[in-house]
Amino acid sequence: MSDLSRAYEPKAIAESLYARWLKDQNYRADASSSKPAFSIVMPPPNITGVLTLGHVLNNAIQDILSRKARLEGYEVLWLPGTDHAGLATEMVVERSLRRQRGIGRKELGREEFLQLVREWRETHGRIIVEQLKKLGSSADWSRERFTMDTDYSRAVQRVFVQLYQKGLIYRGRRMVNWCPSSLTALSDEEVLPREEQSSLYFVRYPIEGEPGSFLTVTTTRPETIPGDTGLAVHPEDDRYRKWVGRRAIRPFPHGSIPILADSAIDPAFGTGVLKITPAHDKLDFEIGQRHDLPIVDILHPDGRIHCPALPELDGLDRFEARKKAASLLEKEGLLAKVEPYLHTVGVSERANVPVEPRLSEQWFLRYPKIEEALRVVRERRIRFFPEHWEKVYEHWIENIQDWCISRQVWWGHRIPVWWKEGSHRCQVESPGPGWVQDPDTLDTWFSSWLWAFESMDPATRQKFYPTSVLVTGPDIIFLWVARMIIAGLEFRPGHGPSLEDNIPFRAVYFTGLIRDHLGRKMTKSLGNSPDPLTLIEKYGADGLRFGLLRIAPQGQDIRFDEKQIEEGRNFCNKLWNACRFRVRFGPLSADARPWDHPLSPFAVEMLSGLSQTGSRLETAFAAHEFSEAAGLLYSFVWNDFCACFLEAAKVDLAQEGSSTASGTLASFDYALSWILRLLHPFCPFVTEELWNRLELGPSTIQFAGWFDAAEARKLDERLGDRKKTASQARAIFQAAERGRHLRSTYGIPSNQKVPFLLRAEEPLAMAERNVLSALAKASEITDVVGPPPKAPMVLTALGELYLPLEGLLDLEVERKRLTAEKEKLALNWKAIQERLQNPVVSARAPAEKLEAWREQALQLEAAMQRLEDQLRGLVQ
């Protein structure tokens, strides 16, 4: 024990401890265990991924829940795995292929390219898993799954066949989101809104048979004019009522198109006239269907214009074609004007290019179990934390649309449909010679919606399904959370028929978004996203975890500040040094019973605080308030245990023949045993190392028990009436704190001992006086009898505490300094008052500026009052 180093050295300790935990199989879940079950499935990170602060937050919370459950006596399964990330992985590997060999996947061929992807996955696909281990993640790595595992892939295909046979999967030609870069369909959830500065073009469409008459259309996409098959206005728009039923001339290629009325038109947008391009806009397609308009597709899959009748545009990229189309309109005198226009466009999440609405033959799923999926959340059979996400979930379910599940990528689960001579069969295995499998693969989310149960074998599922909680981000509430709920209800993987037996999880915790200190989203392009591995190297995994959790309130975005991570490391060092102090007094007692000894009021106060902290922690964990829990632990350990009790213990243990020394040591050991266990879920490495070094229990802290509400009540009962003595300790701690504040007010260094005077309401015992002196850094504390001395004073629970300044400061110099500072503040205050009272200035200044001035004036008044109080304190 005596060989504890001067500071906690996390790197070497973490590596050896984690290796031992894995060797001892501490995280292997036993499906045959009689213990109650606690389970989490890890949101599978993409095999293209590397550790980010978002991963740190998400997995640290999962680890906290898993480690706490082990301490509470649960059989814990934290099931890890990775996602094949079809489109993302294919893009990464194809980019590498083009760099190294100058060809793309199509030139290489499907089978060779897929082999290349599999080789890439073996080399790079588990990087993030190894990084998660450095964080201390206590997942059952023996059960690690991959969404392209053979058994998992077969399950995905069986589910497709099952849904197809129920009539829930169908193939149809519908409007989809199309990525011209990746050449695949995307779901609505894979399209991100992005504001773009564009142009609004006002285009004249001549009225057929009415020379000189035009309808002016507003559009952001003049390059799609060749696909126009009609113009539309609102039926109640009096400006255009006379033209409904007539025809207009499409500018290019010239053609006659109908003018029709449709209530979907917004008369307030632009000119109130909409050009209808059914092949390239969802609303246009719906209007076209209602009015039997022809569909003219004028885009190649890669976004180039397909219009042989117009050679000037044919073959141009869509953005180049936009400029050329504007030029052609201007040349023909049909471009009335162009205005700048800020609008929102849909962008492919992976390729980061604007998507195209496009008619395409795809596979679609009609969602089953919609009513049940609503009910399990509304009835709180599944709890959302924070609760406001329930409304978002309900809105999506109530407005759910069929899911486009096919993707035109090669890396993924091949659709189990076979084609021959125009007919098809849906089955996992090939029907025989001549049958060709559908070339498309399934949307990645179609495999991951089965993750909560298909990642488990039947015995594991029997024990651990439904899982206890899911920790994820709100950005995938539709992509993943809602779909997993639907999948559980549809495929019934539970061990009974009820809804509760088949929901995938009983609670969902949604993490916040991590932003930089300026409130910006962290991105590579901004260079504001720190590398978690660098932070671990610098501050240790414990420091990173604890520092991040303290600033992560439930449901709110997080303002990241590296100083908080540094504070996490400092906290670990504080705990380490407290233990270094304790071992100076001999071995610790693993079964300390402080209530069997005489106790000082300082020990009673600390033990009472431990009881309160345990109870409040239970409340915080029940509400999934992890930041609150971390804050409670920080406050108790740093303030109550170290800053107060430990400093009081130093005085007690230094006093020869102290009657309470044995109780102080027993209180130290008892509290430290529970502190390490309460902190273990947040700081697994430092707590395990200290637990072993101090020989406080079995070989690992991980199953040593939890300080729950029942344990807190038991401690309170054991302290009994002695809790009344804690009030004296609180009074001394408060007096010491106010004494320290009084010193800092007059700039006296914290390491300089100074005399204090005390007019106490009750006499202080010598032991209590010694503690107050130590905490206030007093050279002596002299009792005052009679008139109050002329010196700065603060009121405390003990009485009046004075700081004689004579001999500590040159009073005349200090008086001049404070007077000058007060006069400077007064000038600033006067200038602000003149601005506020000047009617011209007040009339011109924005409201927020006026409010800022008023707030500044109040702050200056408070500062001047403090200086006045200090000046009064200088009177001798």
Q: In whole angstroms, what is the distance from residue 734 CA to residue 728 CA? A: 10
Decide if pLDDT at 876 tops 50: no
Tens digits of residue pLDDT in 31-65: 999 999 999 999 999 999 889 999 999 999 999 99
- Tokens found for residue 67: 């480690």
DSSP 360: E
What pLDDT was estimated at residue 615?
A: 94
Q: Confidence class of residue 120 from pLDDT cuts 50, 70 and 90?
A: very high
With contact defined as beta carbons under 8 Å apart, do 425 and 431 qualify?
A: yes
Q: Confidence class of residue 522 from pLDDT cuts 50, 70 and 90?
A: confident
Mean pLDDT value of segment 857-861 = 85
What pLDDT was estimated at residue 802?
A: 83
Mean pLDDT value of segment 835-853 = 83
Any idea which of 471-485, 789-803, 824-838 has the lowest mean pLDDT?
789-803
Decide if pLDDT at 844 tops 90: no
Q: Confidence class of residue 6 from pLDDT cuts 50, 70 and 90?
A: confident
- Tokens found for residue 328: 């052609």
What pLDDT was estimated at residue 524?
A: 61
Q: Confidence class of residue 90 from pLDDT cuts 50, 70 and 90?
A: very high
Tens digits of residue pLDDT in 569-592: 999 999 999 999 999 999 999 999
What pLDDT was estimated at residue 787?
A: 75
Phi, psi at 75, each rounded to 5°: -85, 115
Q: Confidence class of residue 808 from pLDDT cuts 50, 70 and 90?
A: low
On average, the pLDDT of the chain sits at: 92
Give the 3-state secondary structure of residue 335.
strand
DSSP 481: I
Decide if pLDDT at 364 tops 90: yes
Q: In whole angstroms, what is the distance from residue 265 CA to residue 261 CA? A: 8
Per DSSP, the residues of 244-294 read: TTSEEEETTTTEEEEEEE-TT--TTSTTS-EEE-TTS-HHHHHHHHHTT--
Per DSSP, the residues of 621-677 read: HHTT-HHHHHHHHHHIIIIIIIIIIIHHHHHHHHSTT-TTHHHHHHHHHHHHHHHHH
What pLDDT was estimated at residue 801?
A: 86
What pLDDT was estimated at residue 45?
A: 94
Nearest to 83 by CA among 502, 501, 472, 529: 472
Phi, psi at 354, each rounded to 5°: -60, 135
Any idea which of 197-211, 525-539, 577-591, 804-818 has the lowest mean pLDDT?
804-818
Q: At what angle do helices 53-71 and 127-134 cross, to 10 degrees?
A: 60
Mean pLDDT value of segment 653-660 = 92
pTM (predicted TM-score): 0.86
Q: Confidence class of residue 75 from pLDDT cuts 50, 70 and 90?
A: very high
Instruction: Determine how many CB atoms are found less than 10 A away from the CB of residue 177.
Output: 21
Block residue for tokens 């409340």: 619
Cα dihedral 107, 109, 112, 114 sign: positive
Any idea which of 162-171, 648-657, 846-855 has the lowest mean pLDDT?
846-855
Decide if pLDDT at 255 tops 90: yes
Cα dihedral 374, 379, 384, 387 sign: positive
Q: In whole angstroms, what is the distance from residue 112 CA to residue 786 CA? A: 97
Mean pLDDT value of segment 785-793 = 77
Per-range mean pLDDT, top range of 180-189, 490-499, 526-535: 490-499
Mean pLDDT value of segment 94-121 = 94
What dihedral do alpha carbons 520, 535, 142, 707 form, nearest 10°?
Answer: -90
Return the higher-pLDDT residue of 556 and 103. 103
Nearest to 360 by CA among 324, 408, 397: 408
What pLDDT was estimated at residue 817?
A: 67
Block residue for tokens 């070989």: 699
Altogether, the residues listed in the chain come to a count of: 876
- Tokens found for residue 507: 């609670």
Long-range pairs of 259-262 with CB within 8 A, sequence gap ≥ 24: 259/215, 259/230, 259/231, 259/232, 259/233, 260/230, 260/231, 260/232, 260/233, 260/291, 261/232, 261/233, 261/234, 261/235, 262/232, 262/233, 262/234, 262/235, 262/287, 262/290, 262/291
H or E segment to which residue 441 belongs: strand 441-442
What pLDDT was estimated at residue 857?
A: 86
Where does 470-520 have alpha helices with state H?
483-491, 499-502
What dihedral do alpha carbons 20, 24, 26, 31 form, nearest 10°?
Answer: 160
- Give me the percent of the chain exceeding a pLDDT of 90: 75
Any idea which of 25-34, 111-120, 344-353, 811-820 has the lowest mean pLDDT?
811-820
What pLDDT was estimated at residue 493?
A: 96
Q: Confidence class of residue 810 from pLDDT cuts 50, 70 and 90?
A: low
